[in-house]
């Protein structure tokens, strides 16, 4: 009966595809000395001679086992899956793991040196690796002048990667800026409602996990957006019919104070609205202005509607109808959709005409509700 190491040596030779290998290479693969390999090789030679296996030894090249007609027999007796050292299966695993962990592309020559095989064998290993990775949409590329690198192809088209951050920047992630965070570090603490964990190679199971998190996020945002329609944000107590003439700053201060006193915005909202007005005036034209503040200063979304006593100078025009917006939607798409619908409603000439004609808060409320019913239908 063969000893453990003699059996391992034969396994190596059987799965070398009739290629030569040196004692030094075998010694490193088995983590034993070259002297031990030479000793076990005598046992291997005797085993092969008894069974008429063609074992070849050449000075400077090493040892090779020509399988010939015994190929199937030997491969069954010494299956590759039971090989505990660097078989093709091991090499493929080693190549994939190294490319994932490496920050720079590798070369076939470097892999050949590390795994004690030829560059041609490495290229064959990469072809086999790509066959196993195909289902996961991952591919190993061999590029002249750049070496070998692994790339995860686009598996989830609906995801648009906007930023790639190191782990030590996790505390900088703003929930209002990113809809979803994907990380390979399962224990990383991230203050975000939607975090999906994935392995470095992004397996099919990882894809399902990310897609599930995307679905949860979309459903939540859908419900959120349905809850905060334009009509739901307009309340009678936030409609003001002014009798006195006021400046632009006084109008904005009164609207922001109303929101602040009712716990809809945080302190500093008024200052932020003024700052935004300095950067870009909110005049839409037709005597209508649409000022707004930062979402992180909003506690609950709301709209203040102000009908001015007369037209007031507003940087790039004159205004007598002001819609002060306090919005904190979870994603930019929802905010843009709201602005689009609101802009359509406010720029409707009949709507602004009826607001100017209205004399009470109730009448303005009716005008807005009727206009929104027509828009949302």
Residues facing residue 306 across a β-bridge: 240, 322
Residues facing residue 298 across a β-bridge: 265
Give the helix ranges, DSSP H, for 15-60: 23-30, 34-50
Tracing tokens 């100078």 back to the chain, one arrives at 313
Q: Could you tell me if 162 and 148 are in contact, meaning their C-beta atoms sit under 8 angstroms apart?
A: no
Measured in whole angstroms, how far is the alpha carbon of residue 100 from the centre of its chain? 17
Who's near 250: CB < 8 A, 6+ residues apart? Answer: none
Distances (CA, A) of 250 to 135, 291, 325, 352: 63, 13, 16, 22
322's enclosing H/E stretch is: strand 318-326
Distances (CA, A) of 162 to 42, 159, 175, 330: 62, 9, 13, 16
Half-sphere exposure of 126 (CA within 13 A, CB side): 23
Q: Could you tell me if 291 and 282 are in contact, meaning their C-beta atoms sit under 8 angstroms apart?
A: yes
137's enclosing H/E stretch is: none
Who's near 29: CB < 8 A, 6+ residues apart? Answer: 12, 85, 86, 116
| Residue 155 confidence (pLDDT) | 61
Q: Could you tell me if 175 and 191 are in contact, meaning their C-beta atoms sit under 8 angstroms apart?
A: yes
DSSP one-letter string for 59-79: TTTEEEEE-GGGHHHHHHHS-
In this prediction the pTM is 0.42
Domains detected in the chain: 4-82 (1.10.10.10), 88-152 (1.10.10.10), 167-227 (no CATH), 230-376 (3.40.930.10)
| Residue 259 confidence (pLDDT) | 95
Q: Could you tell me if 316 and 346 are in contact, meaning their C-beta atoms sit under 8 angstroms apart?
A: no
| Residue 273 confidence (pLDDT) | 92
Q: Which of 210, 189, 191 is nearest to 199 (CA)?
A: 210
Task: Output the furthest CA–CA distance in the chain (Å, rounded).
Answer: 113
Along the 377 residues of the chain, how does pLDDT read in single tens digits?
Answer: 778 788 888 888 888 777 888 888 888 777 678 888 888 888 899 988 888 888 998 888 899 998 888 888 888 888 765 554 456 777 787 787 777 666 566 788 888 776 767 778 888 888 888 887 776 556 777 765 556 655 544 566 666 666 666 777 777 676 666 778 888 777 777 777 778 887 766 677 777 778 888 777 776 665 554 445 666 788 889 999 998 999 999 999 999 999 999 999 999 999 999 988 887 778 877 888 889 888 889 998 899 999 999 999 887 688 999 999 998 876 555 666 676 667 777 767 688 889 999 989 999 988 888 876 654 44
| Residue 200 confidence (pLDDT) | 65
DSSP one-letter string for 185-222: -TT-----S-EEE--TT--HHHHHHHHHHHHHHHHHHH
- For 89, phi then psi, to 5°, come to -60, -45
Q: Which of 213, 152, 205, 154 is nearest to 180 (CA)?
A: 213
* DSSP code, position 236: E
Helix (H, G, I), strand (E, B) or coil at 279: helix
Who's near 111: CB < 8 A, 6+ residues apart? Answer: 91, 95, 98, 122, 148
Tracing tokens 């074992």 back to the chain, one arrives at 55
Who's near 349: CB < 8 A, 6+ residues apart? Answer: 286
For 233, the token pair is 């944000």
Rounded Cα distance, 10 and 47, in Å:
9
Helix (H, G, I), strand (E, B) or coil at 326: strand
């Amino acid at each position: 009966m063969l000893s453990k190491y003699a059996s391992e040596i034969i396994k190596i030779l059987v799965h070398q595809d009739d290629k030569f290998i040196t004692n030094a290479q075998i010694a490193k693969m088995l983590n034993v000395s070259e002297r031990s390999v030479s000793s076990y090789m005598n046992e291997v030679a005797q085993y092969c001679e008894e069974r008429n296996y063609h074992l070849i030894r050449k000075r400077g090249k090493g040892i090779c086992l020509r399988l010939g007609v015994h190929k199937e027999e030997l491969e069954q007796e010494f299956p590759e899956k039971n090989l505990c050292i660097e078989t093709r299966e091991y090499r493929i695993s080693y190549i994939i793991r190294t490319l994932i962990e490496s920050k720079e592309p590798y070369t076939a020559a470097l892999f050949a040196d590390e795994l004690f095989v030829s560059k041609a064998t490495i290229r064959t290993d990469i072809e086999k690796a790509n066959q196993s990775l195909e289902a996961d949409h991952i591919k190993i590329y061999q590029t002249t002048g750049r070496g070998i690198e692994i790339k995860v192809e686009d598996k989830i088209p609906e995801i648009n990667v906007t930023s790639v951050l190191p782990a030590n920047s996790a505390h900088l992630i703003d929930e209002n800026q990113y809809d979803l965070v994907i990380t390979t570090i399962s224990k990383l603490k991230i203050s975000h409602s939607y975090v999906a964990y994935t392995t470095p190679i992004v397996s099919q199971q990882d894809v399902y996990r990310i897609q599930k998190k995307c679905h949860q996020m979309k459903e939540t945002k859908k419900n959120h957006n349905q809850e905060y329609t334009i009509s739901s944000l307009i309340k009678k107590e936030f409609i003001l019919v002014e009798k006195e003439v006021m400046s632009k700053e006084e109008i904005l201060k009164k609207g922001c104070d109303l929101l602040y006193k009712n716990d809809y915005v945080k302190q500093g909202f008024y200052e932020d609205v003024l700052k935004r007005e300095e950067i870009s005036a909110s005049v839409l034209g037709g005597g209508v202005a649409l000022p707004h503040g930062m979402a992180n200063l909003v506690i609950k979304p709301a709209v203040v509607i102000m009908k001015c006593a007369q037209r007031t100078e507003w940087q790039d025009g004159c205004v007598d109808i002001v819609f002060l917006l306090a919005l904190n939607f979870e994603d930019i798409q929802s905010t843009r959709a709201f602005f689009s619908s609101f802009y359509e409603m406010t720029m409707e000439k009949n709507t602004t005409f009826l607001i100017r004609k209205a004399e009470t808060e109730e009448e303005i409320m009716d005008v807005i509700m009727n206009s929104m019913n027509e828009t949302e239908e």
